[in-house]
Amino acid sequence: MNDAVRSADQQRPVEPAVLDDVPGWFWNHDRHLFDWFLARQEKAGFSGDLLEMGAYLGRSAIVIGAHLQAGETFTICDLFDSDAPDDENAAEMDMSYRKTLTRTAFESNYLSFHDRLPEIIQAPTSTLADGRVAPGGFRFIHIDASHLYEHVAGDLQVARTALAPEGVVVLDDYRSAHTPGVAAATWEAVFNHGLRPIVLTDSKFYGTWGDPEPAQLDLLARRGTLPECSITNETLADHRVIRIDGNDTGAEPFRVSRHHARLTEEAARDENARATEDALRAAERERDEAVRELAERRARAAERRRPANVAKRAVGDLLPPVVTSAIRRARRG
């Protein structure tokens, strides 16, 4: 294999068999909540476009895209492998994303689960403030781009304009120790700009500029549906807040990718090949050990058959024990 072929193989995205094969930080609580909010809107006959600001390699986008209805548009805005607009954002990308984040990898992952790509804007999320997203036309917006306060505050203003009255906005990393800018922008929007919290998880804040109570009551009605998942009712400065934590084991898994059957077969073949190779190696080791043991036995037998050793054994067998002991003492002396 030449260097060009090897380099191409190293850069080719790995095909995912299941959603968890797609790299990213999108935990099951939030995946289930994305499904729940989007399905709830669809059941109520609520239509509108979908938007994700910051997609990384597509794990959350794949889930959002599964809820795209006829006549709706799903838009992704991400820098991917483009240059950042400012030094702080460039430093953030170099630290966390630059080595792995490419548009090609995102598209490959997304198309593993869907037939066509969303609309992609490869640019800073600040470009969305120029009016390219329709006011009031979106039902669900996920903000997971920059962690810098100024950028997140700007993304929230875009979301406020773009969301329909009962639309849902989700912010990632609203409470992580390494993302204080997200926390500052999130709670500023709550206390100063009318954003109303619906539910909090360990990773994400779910809110609306409409009425959060119907969704909150529906969430509270889900208590007990997952035995190890806790849904609690909190109050924060006169805002009702639902909090979800615990273990959501038992919830419905996300559908598999189009590669799942083939990758499963390949994995089984590889496992069988490894098992066969391991068995052959074990058989070779046993054979080599048997050969060594046989050689050692033959060597010991040949040593015993040497004339001098035969004579020693004969003397030991024929002479009385007292005489044999005396001869041995004399030899030692």
Q: If DSSP states are collapsed to H, E and C, what string results for 16-55?
A: CCCHHHCCCCCCHHHHHHHHHHHHHHHHCCCCCEEEEECC
On average, the pLDDT of the chain sits at 86
CA angle 285, 286, 287 (to 5 degrees): 90
- What pLDDT digit, counting tens, does each position of 226-235 carry? 777 889 999 9
Question: Is the distance from CB of 156 to CB of 174 less than 8 angstroms?
Answer: no
- How far apart are alpha carbons 29 and 245 in whole angstroms? 8
Query: pTM (2 decimals)?
Result: 0.77
pLDDT per residue as tens digits for the range 194-251:
999 999 999 999 999 999 999 999 999 988 777 778 899 999 888 899 999 887 777 7
Q: Hunting for tokens 């959501």 — which residue is that?
A: 248
Return the ∠ at Cα 232 (arms to 182 and 153), rounded to 5°. Answer: 15
Which residues lie closer than 8 Å to 205 by C-beta, 6 or more apart? 170, 171, 174, 175, 186, 197
Rounded alpha-carbon distances, angstroms, from residue 327 to 18, 211, 238, 312, 324: 82, 109, 106, 12, 5
Q: Which structure tokens are listed for 90?
A: 């460039």
